[in-house]
Chain A
Amino acid sequence: MAQCVQSVQEFIQDSFVPMVAVLCSEHAEQVTRKNNLNFSELLRPFCRLTSEGHMRDPNNQVQVVKNLRISVNNVVTRPSVPTSGVHGPAQRRLLSEVVSACQPAEGGVANVIPAGDYDLNISATTPWFEAYRESFLQSMPASDHEFLNHYLACLLVVSSSEAVPVEQFLKLSQEQHRIQHNGEYTNPKWFIPNTLKYYVLLHDMSQGDEQRADSVYEDMKQRYGSQGCYLLKINSRTAAAGTDEQIPDPWSQYLNKSSLQISVNCLDNTHPLQLETAIDTPGSLDSLRAVAAETKTTTVYTGMVAGTSHGACLTLNDHDRLRLFIQEFTFRGLLPHIEKNIRQLNDQLVSRKGLSRSLFSATKKWFGGGKVPEKSIAELKNTSGLLYPPEAPELQIRKMADLCFLVQHYELAYSCYHTAKKDFLSDQAMLYAAGALEMAAVSAFLQGGAPRPYPAHYMDTAIQTYRDVCKNKVLAERCALFSAEVLKSQAKYSDAATLLIKMTCEDSDLCSALLLEQAAHCFINMRNPMVRKFAFHMILAGHRFSKAGQKRHALRCYCQAMQVYKGKGWSLAEDHINFTIGRQSFTLRQPENAVSAFRHILTNDSQQTSTQQGAFLREYLYVYRNVQGVCEVALPQLPLPCINSSATRVYFGHERRLAEGEKQAATHVSLDQEFDRDLAAVWQDLEEQVVATANRGVVPSTFYPTQCCLNSQTDNLRFPLAVVEEPIIVEVAFRNPLKVPLVLSDLSLLWKFTLKDFSQPQPQDVMVGDAFTISNEKEARLKLLPRQTGQLNILGLVYNLASTPTGDSTINSPSALEGTWVRGRQDLKIQGPRLNQTKEEKTSVSHGPDRRLDPTITPPMPLLEVLTHHCPLPLTQK
């Protein structure tokens, strides 16, 4: 797995925290509402305790509780979400929003991980996975087979500005009692019948009467004991005071997440109004109404509540007071309560252990066959479900174990879980057994001191039981997440990877995608990194991401996998990845990436079948068209077809006229001839002799033989001469590397012209207009007619590229071009011959210039044409 922000211990500890409920009176809500927060939100940033607590376990040894976090929530008695073992659609939406909101930063932190022959540029952290995990764990419904999510205590909050606070307290207390014991609500779940009630008197400093508040507080202390109540003073800052000091706003990070969550939960809730009419007590009704109204407004927002400021009425002193309040509550109220309960349960168990066990085993012995099969049949019927009533003795062990776990007594927790597991297994209560196994493994891992070896088989059995027997995928996934994290911290990456891959399934795409990505990271973090497995699983993850609709994550996965496959010769795989990257980039509006990805597919010597290549080509052309439509004034460079630049031939002059009747034209040099070096040498000799004769026997030093047809074998070091009004014909050689034919149309040359003297209109070019297909190799001839003197540079070609429609290889109908076609260019750059004259040139690779395509246009010169008439044959024969 990738590195996470939290360490394993922190993560597991943060997943299971003591839960505290809050019931507020109406006035108290108003007080906190001044800060745009309700009471539980107000407390949330301060819920992590910075100091240590001390508790005594049943053996009277002092245990230190470090870094405890508590979770404070409003009492929301919504109808229970069915614990069906899979996420409802609202949950899924929430999770996918969370993941898509968390994208890697552009150009973010990426490490270069050297792995074997590969140097991979991937990011070592995956924050979207952590976001998913967090919201997944938070959204898990509380189940009856475990008590970790059940509320341990309830805060009753009343404002000091009320007429008779004590009465309010009584009302709230009765309310809580009713919610817990009335049996109408299955949510929220309470841990013990005797929930701790903590009375909080909320005093508004800017408004209230402090003396009165103090006196009420004294009264409360008399009534409930000083350990059971607290006077909390907030809102010290009046609204009029300017914002000179920057008060930190720790609430915003919590509120975004919770607003998403509450809005989703509210969507599950069919009729908040119906709930209101059913209850008829003021306090909780108002709080519920407030909660419901708030959620309605947040659903309207659909996003961050960034506009409103939070905690505007609180000074830093208030923050400190809140922190102190939480600390007091936890150390004076919650922890002693837990300690007392642990002790009670322990006593019950010890006393019962002796008795009931012997009784049970005795009855088993005496009543032998009769009783036991009956019981086992009855139990076999619902092994996967909830078997025990809430007060059953077997569950007492589980409760004790959970309490110990919540306050970090891991040794005691482990032994209790172990016992519980044995009991449950012997009773065939599989759901409970799986739960006990899971927690036993986790507490064994978290145990400090002399650590036991992590019992991975417990976790495996638990996962298997959850998945197969109890059919509860959500719980199984939770187990897997924990187990994988633990294995990763112990550097057992291959086990973690196998576990994660086993958990992927067909129905949940997002979950499988995230797990596959984590498995890929496991592979890469091994001691001998399995790079190819990493790449393969990244591809699988990318595929699932795109099925789940997370396009950017999918693109990211594919790009990372591409680094492994690039340039290694596994062309089919590489093409597949490039194709997918191209498609994804295109849908994400990154057309340049799409274009470059497709270009890779098309230019390599692809070994794909012709249908596949045809499909690639069409896709490429389609993407290109859209790119052109969007931006791009200049013509784009197309990669196809390949131009063999050095085979370009240039011919200066008119094409020769063929013979008419008896006249025979001199053959001259023409493009249709093959170049013959010997013959060219003979012509050069002849020309030298002619010039020498014309110059009185001396060849002038500036002489060089005229060349009409330039190709790769002629001497191209000098600028060739072309004459105004005489055409220049350029023959370009194309090669089609694909197996499908390409259709080119509207070819023309691109040129650049610099004038030597300024007079006449520009030269024009003439195009070879008909379309032709290239299957393998072909040459095309294009003509250029200069009309002015100067220097001409032929730069390249521009043309329309199209693919043939499937199954149709004839291109003559114009409708064939109506499909996707793209206008683009390719440059003609000819590399000159390798220089080999001087010593430096011999020892280094340097190329001279090749000036075939840069003719100088000279002023008009006379043009000769020779026609022989009745030429005697022996003259033309050797």
Chain B
Amino acid sequence: MAVCIAVIAKENYPLYIRSVPIQNELKFHYTVHTSLDVVEEKISAVGKAMADQRELYLGLLYPTEDYKVYGYVTNSKVKFVIVVDSSNTSLRDNEIRSMFRKLHNSFTDVMCNPFYNPGDTIQSKAFDSMVTAMMVQAS
């Protein structure tokens, strides 16, 4: 159960950010923006490795005191970032991977929409509902 999910375009501006506790939204924005540095470092470090499924998942970017940030980059350099509560230790790596896979699939669906211009913010309701299903239920 994620606390914040973000989709970031190739040029590093956000296509879609949503976080559950609305009060801390600013903090999550900052966290996601800063984690882009780490993502870029990892991308450049990979170099000319083959882009297979395993390489797309970047793993734990960095742990802060309350949250863990995971990253995933697609072949077209669109990045997904998931922020998870640290106290939620029951989330295993595989679950995060499956979340990213679902995100990637939904994102591809959004891209396939002929009325969607790449580079616009994502307004699709289907994407929204998929993300809501993955987020922590607001108490």
Contact = CB atoms under 8 A, between A and B. Distances in A.
A308 interface: no
A531 B26 contact: no
Nearest to A564: B33
A576 B13 contact: no
Contacts of A570: 13-14, 29, 33
A101 B40 CA distance: 39
Given A569-B13, A570-B14, A576-B26, A532 B33 contact: yes
Contact of B36 (A528, A532, A539): A532
B128 interface: no
Interface string A522-563: 000000101111011001000000000000000000000000
Chain B interface main SS type: helix
A116 B14 contact: no
A528 B44 contact: yes
Interface in B75-129: none
Contact of A532 (B13, B22, B37, B44): B37
Nearest to B13: A569
Interface string A315-357: 0000000000000000000000000000000000000000000
B41 A573 contact: no
Given A539-B30, A570-B33, A530 B12 contact: no
B53 interface: no
B139 interface: no
A690 interface: no
B15 to A, nearest CB: 9
A609 B25 CA distance: 11
B37 A533 contact: yes
B37 A572 contact: no
Of the listed residues B12, B33, B41, the one surrounded by the most CB atoms of chain A closer than 10 A to its CB is: B33
Contact of B26 (A116, A533, A569, A573): A573
A644 B104 CA distance: 40
Contacts of A539: 30
Contact of B34 (A532, A568, A572, A576): A532
Contacts of B13: 568-570
Nearest to A573: B29
A117 interface: yes
Contacts of A568: 12-13
Contacts of B29: 570, 572-573
A565 B33 CA distance: 9
Interface string B16-37: 0000001001100110011011
B99 to A, nearest CB: 23
Interface string A105-146: 000000000001100000000000000000000000000000
A310 B25 CA distance: 59
B112 to A, nearest CB: 23
Given A573-B26, A573-B29, A531 B14 contact: no
Contacts of A116: 40
Given A568-B13, A569-B13, A530 B37 contact: yes
Contacts of B40: 116, 528
Given A116-B40, A528-B41, A570-B13, A533 B34 contact: yes
B contact residues, range: 10 to 19
Given A568-B13, A576-B26, A536 B41 contact: no
Contacts of A576: 26
Contact of A569 (B14, B30, B44): B14
A539 B41 CA distance: 22
Contacts of B37: 530-533
B33 A573 contact: yes
Nearest to A531: B37
A67 B12 CA distance: 51
Contacts of B25: 572
A737 to B, nearest CB: 16
Contact of B12 (A117, A572, A573): A117
A116 B36 CA distance: 12
Interface in B19-68: 22, 25-26, 29-30, 33-34, 36-38, 40-41, 44
B13 to A, nearest CB: 3
A576 B36 CA distance: 19
Interface centre among A539, A568, A573, A576 (most CB of B within 10 A): A573
A114 to B, nearest CB: 15
A568 B32 CA distance: 13
B26 A536 contact: no
B44 A536 contact: no
A572 B13 CA distance: 12
B14 A536 contact: no
A530 B33 contact: no
Residue from A532, A568, A569 having most chain B Cβ neighbours under 10 A: A532
B12 A536 contact: no
Interface in A65-117: 116-117
Nearest to A574: B29
Interface in A485-504: none
A530 B35 CA distance: 10
Interface string A582-616: 00000000000000000000000000010000000
A116 B39 CA distance: 13
Nearest to B45: A528
B6 to A, nearest CB: 10
A435 to B, nearest CB: 30
A428 B86 CA distance: 36
Nearest to A528: B41
Nearest to B44: A528
A395 to B, nearest CB: 40
A117 B40 CA distance: 12
Contacts of A530: 37-38, 41
A528 B38 CA distance: 11
Contacts of B12: 117, 568
Interface in A781-832: none
Contacts of B36: 532
Given A532-B36, A572-B29, 9 more contacts: A530-B37, A530-B38, A531-B37, A569-B14, A570-B14, A570-B29, A572-B25, A573-B30, A576-B26
24 contacts: A116-B40, A117-B12, A528-B40, A528-B44, A530-B37, A530-B38, A531-B37, A532-B34, A533-B37, A535-B33, A536-B33, A539-B30, A565-B33, A569-B13, A570-B13, A570-B14, A570-B29, A570-B33, A572-B25, A572-B26, A573-B29, A573-B30, A576-B26, A609-B22
The 4 closest A-B pairs by CB, nearest first: A569-B13, A530-B37, A536-B34, A532-B37
